[in-house]
Structures are given as C-alpha cells and as structure tokens.
Amino acid sequence: MKQVDAPTEQELNACLRSAGAVWTAIVRAMEETSAPIDREWRPTKTEFGRLCPLRRKQRTLLYLTPDADRVRVAIVLGERAYGLVATSSLPAAIRKLFDEAQPYVEGRGIRFPVSSPGEIPIITELLPIKAAPK
C-alpha cells in the first residue's frame, strides 16, 4: 500500500480539534503496551485524506483516522481472538459490533469513534486479545 507524508502536528490538531489529546493518549497507550510501534501514513478517502496504521513487527494492530473532535479506530480480529471477545469485559456495544461484523479471511473488522480519554481502556483491552497466542 502506498505511503504518504505524515501530517504536521498543526494539520493533525486542526483536524482533531478537541480530540488532539485523545490521539496522543492512544498512541502513548499503544507504545506502553506494545512497543516498539511503527507509524506510517496511508491515503484514504476520508476528509482528512490519510490514516495511520499502528504496527508492531509487520503486524497491524490498529488503524487510526483523525476526524473532527474524535479519532476513528479500526481493528481486525481473527476468529480465535473474536472468540475471546465474547468472554471479555469489553463494553456490550463493542462486543455487538464484532458479532455483527462480516467474517472475512482476515477476520472481523470493526470501526468505532473515540472522543474522550475515558474510552482508551477499550483499546488497551482489545490489544492483548488481538495479540493472544494461538
């Protein structure tokens, strides 16, 4: 997939507005739980025009897309990890998104908005599920 230049901090904050701190907190939480994290920017058809996959050792953990006053988070879980979601303490709304997600060869993918720091524990709970050994 084609890479594009990373946005400047000013461009990112202009898009995110009040969610700038949320973006920073998500990236920081990823670095604390899954370091080292590689960031690359890819083109997308969203208003911002770019998304940022967060990767560890060639494996994409999350996709982050800046949006007005929120960060759109996307994650794909394989069927084994999807099975762990049902027994997790994730919010019912997130479990429902996975239940309703179309299963593909790559797994089940969901997208959800994060607009406050209080929602970041959802992400930090999803990461060990995604990374759980087979």
Whether the Cβ atoms of residue 7 and residue 38 lie closer than 8 Å to each other: no
CATH code assigned at 119: 3.90.1150
Please report whether residue 2 resides in a domain. Answer: no
Residue 54 reports pLDDT greater than 70: yes
Residue 48 lies in a domain: yes
Residue 68 has what DSSP assignment?
Answer: T
Asked if the structure places residue 89 within a domain, the reply is yes
If we measure between CA atoms, which residue out of 73, 77, 57 comes closest to residue 122?
73
Query: Confidence band (pLDDT; 50, 70, 90) for 35?
Result: confident
Residue 26: the pLDDT is 95
Residue 11 has pLDDT above 80, yes or no: yes
User: For 62-105, what is each residue's pLDDT tens digit?
Assistant: 999 999 999 999 999 999 999 999 889 999 999 999 999 999 99
| Residue 115 belongs to domain spanning | 9-131
pLDDT at 1 over 80: no
pLDDT over 90 at 34, yes or no: no
Is residue 4 assigned to a domain? no
In 3-state terms, what secondary structure has residue 105? coil
Count of the separate structural domains present in the chain: 1
* Residue 115, domain member (yes or no): yes
Instruction: Indicate whether 63 belongs to any domain.
Output: yes
> Which residue from 116, 98, 120 is spatially nearest to 33, judged by alpha carbons?
120
Residue 30 maps to a domain = yes
pLDDT tens, position by position, 79-91: 999 999 988 999 9
For residue 16, is pLDDT > 80?
yes
Task: Give, in order, the Cα–Cα distances in Å from 128 to each of 67, 77, 82, 87, 109.
Answer: 26, 11, 12, 13, 16
Comparing C-alpha atoms, which of 58, 62, 64, 106 is closest to residue 82? 106
Summarised one tens digit per residue, pLDDT across range 100-134 is: 999 999 899 999 999 999 999 999 999 999 887 76
Summary mean pLDDT of the chain: 92
